[in-house]
Structure 1
Amino acid sequence: MSTKYRFRDKYRIQLREKDHPPPHVHLTGGGLDVMLSLETVEVLVGQAPPLIIKEALEWVRAHQVQLLEDWKRCYP
């Protein structure tokens, strides 16, 4: 598991090396495990407070190209 971003002291965006399609990252911390799509930059599975989702999706959108490259390296 690779943490790509930490914010608000307890939340993390993680790319899990042993995962499954479609390309996604996990928003974890504070009891959350939300799947965020790397293709559409939206929530795939799970719920979190709206401001946390907004911040996470903004970061994913800003780093989408690199995250997709990382995904492709893990899952050729």
Structure 2
Amino acid sequence: MSTKYRFKNTYRIQLRERDHPPPHVHLTGGGVDVVLSLETVEVMMGRAPPLIIKEALDWVRSHQAQLLEEWQRCYP
């Protein structure tokens, strides 16, 4: 498991090395586990406070190309 971003001292965006398609990251911490699509930059599964989701999606959107490249290295 690789943490890519931490915010608000509670939440993390993680790319998990032994995961499954489609390409995604996990938003965890504070009792949430949300799956965020790397292709569409949307919530695939789970719930979290709207401001937390917004910050996470904004960060994923700005790092989407890098995250997709890393996903492809893990899952050729």
Using structure 2 for the length normalisation, give the TM-score.
Answer: 0.99
CA distance in 2, matches of 1:6, 1:53: 13
CA RMSD in angstroms, aligned pairs only = 0.3
What's 1:51 paired with? 51
Residue 57 (structure 1) shift: 0.0
CA distance in 2, matches of 1:24, 1:3: 13
Residue 42 (structure 1) shift: 0.2
| Count of residue pairs the alignment pairs up | 76
Residue 14, structure 1, aligned to residue 14, structure 2: yes
What's 1:24 paired with? 24
Give aligned-pair identity as a percent.
Answer: 82
Runs of 4+ in structure 1 deviating by more than 6 angstroms, as ranges, are none
Deviations, residues 8-30 of structure 1 (Å, cap 9, x unaligned)? 00100000000000000000000
CA distance in 2, matches of 1:14, 1:51: 18
Residue 33 (structure 1) shift: 0.6
CA distance in 2, matches of 1:69, 1:33: 23
CA distance in 2, matches of 1:32, 1:18: 20
Deviations, residues 26-57 of structure 1 (Å, cap 9, x unaligned)? 00000111000000000000000000000000
Using structure 1 for the length normalisation, give the TM-score.
Answer: 0.99
What's 1:67 paired with? 67
